[in-house]
Structure formats: structure tokens, C-alpha cells
Structure 1
Amino acid sequence: MAVLVVNHSAEWSQELYQAAFDRVIPDRSNPPAGLVTHYAAPLAGGGWQVIDVWESEDAFRRFLEESVVPAAKELGAPPFESHVTELYNSLIA
């Protein structure tokens, strides 16, 4: 079952996000296994958010633990929250 993943932190910035993104997905033509779509944007009150659709929660968790967490630690990044929910519907125009 596909899942919607919302990651956010008031302490992340566009620059920190970009540094982490460049480490975990250095070749944009070769996205991680299971990633369907990826969006990133500032939060209204400050900070940063990432919204993804993954083929499964397992695929997301694997990428998070094997790639994102180590890269964030290397960068000295503050923690962020992740919320995962089953995707009910989508429409891409």
C-alpha cells in the first residue's frame, strides 16, 4: 500500500535540506527504490517540510535509516518529525 510521508522541522532550512538531499540522492535520475514522488518547501512559520509518496512504509523506513539519518548526523542536523499514513487517493494533472 502506498504511503504519504510528511517530514518537518522548525529547525531545518532550505540550505540544510539541500545539503542532505545532495548527499542522499546525488543522481536525480536514480531515485531511491520505492520513492514515487518528492516535494520540499518552507513551512509557513519557519523551518522546512518534505512531503513524499512511497510505494510502502518499509521502503521509506529503509531509506530513512540507511541514507537520511546518517547524512543528517554527518551534517549535524537537528531532528525532524515524520508522519506516515496510507494514501487513499492521488491525482496528478
Structure 2
Amino acid sequence: MALVVVFDIPGATQAQYDAAIAALVGPGKSFNVPSDLPVPGLISHVAGPIAGGWHVTDVWESQAAFNAFTAVLMPILAGVGIPAVPPKVFGAHKYVH
């Protein structure tokens, strides 16, 4: 079952998000397709500003794939000053793309 992961991160900025993405994908690369990430399993990703912070919604193939990603992601977020905020996580009944 696909897993929906929703982050609302108070105080986070686009500059921090962009720095985290650059660190995730590596020098000279961009994040245009899920396979650009260093771990497999991302189905979709959307991110943008919200009042007072930053929002991210991901869809992952499984809990295991998301767990592998968080092991890579969390040190990167800390390095760019994005606070650790627990996401809302739930199984997707239906996903259309």
C-alpha cells in the first residue's frame, strides 16, 4: 500500500528546502524525477510555502522505503536548520497519477 507523508514545517524557508534538496541529490544534479533521490521508493513529491513555513507532501511505495529515506534525510535537514517535525502519515486508499 502506498504511504502518504505530510510535513508542515513552521519557520522553514524555500532557501532551506532548496539547500536540503541539493544535499540530497548531490552536486550538479537537480530533483526532477523520483529516481534523482539517493533511495528508491518515492512515487510523488510536492512542496511549497505555507503561512509561516513550508509544506511537503510525498507519496512513498511503502513504510520501508520512507524509513530508508528518513535515515538519509534527517541529518540533512538538521544541517540546513530545518527542525525535526513529525509528519502526518497514512496509507493511501487510492492514488491516481
What TM-score do the two structures reach when normalised by structure 2?
0.81
Alpha-carbon distance in structure 1 between the residues aligned to 2:45 and 2:84: 19
Alpha-carbon distance in structure 2 between the residues aligned to 1:47 and 1:76: 13
2:89 — aligned with what?
84
Alpha-carbon distance in structure 1 between the residues aligned to 2:54 and 2:24: 17
**Is the partner of 1:8 in helix, strand or coil?**
strand
Alpha-carbon distance in structure 2 between the residues aligned to 1:16 and 1:53: 21
What TM-score do the two structures reach when normalised by structure 1?
0.84
**Is the partner of 1:4 in helix, strand or coil?**
strand
Q: What is the one-letter code of the residue matched to 2:91?
A: E
Query: For the aligned residues, what is the CA RMSD?
Result: 1.5
- Segments of 4+ moved more than 6 angstroms: none
Preserved CA contact (<8 Å) 2:78 2:84: no
Alpha-carbon distance in structure 2 between the residues aligned to 1:76 and 1:50: 16
Aligned ranges 1:13-92 → 2 under 5 Å? 13-26=13-26, 27=29, 28=31, 30-31=36-37, 32-43=39-50, 45-65=51-71, 67-92=72-97
**Is the partner of 2:94 in helix, strand or coil?**
coil
Alpha-carbon distance in structure 1 between the residues aligned to 2:87 and 2:47: 14
Preserved CA contact (<8 Å) 1:57 1:84: no
Q: What is the one-letter code of the residue matched to 2:64?
A: D
Listed as ranges, the gaps of 5+ residues in structure 1 are: none
